[in-house]
Amino acid sequence: MIHKQSLKFVVFMIVLFVNITKTGYSQEEKNEDVVIIPRGQSRSYMLVNNNSTYYFSETGSINISSFQGLNVETYEFLDDYILEVNGTVLKREISEAYLYPDKLVRKYIDFDLQEEITLLDSLPVLIIKLESNKKLSITLGPFISSQSPSRKFVTYWAEEDKLLYVAKRNHTVRSEREDYPVWTAIYTFPNARFLESDSDVNKSYVGFSKENNFLPGKLNFFLDNTAYIFFIIGDNKNDVLIKRKHVLKQFNIFIEKSGKKIEGVRKT
With CA atoms as reference, report the closest residue to 227 among 142, 139, 157. 139
CB 17 within 8 A of CB 44: yes
- The pLDDT tens digits for 177-190 are 889 999 999 999 99
Question: Residue type for 176, please?
Answer: E
Dist CA 221 CA 143 (whole Å): 18
Distances (CA, A) of 75 to 78, 108, 176: 10, 31, 15
Instruction: Please state the φ and ψ torsions of residue 181, each to the nearest 5 degrees.
Output: -55, 160
**Concatenated DSSP letters of 39-55:** TT---EEEEE-SSSEEE
Segment 106-137, tens digit of pLDDT:
999 999 999 999 999 999 999 999 999 999 99
For range 219-223, the mean pLDDT: 97
Picking from 62-71, 151-160, 193-202, 203-212, which range would have the lowest pLDDT averaged per residue?
203-212
Amino acid of residue 139: T
The Cα–Cα gap between 203 and 234 comes to 30
- Indicate the pTM of the whole model: 0.83
Residue 158 has what pLDDT?
A: 97
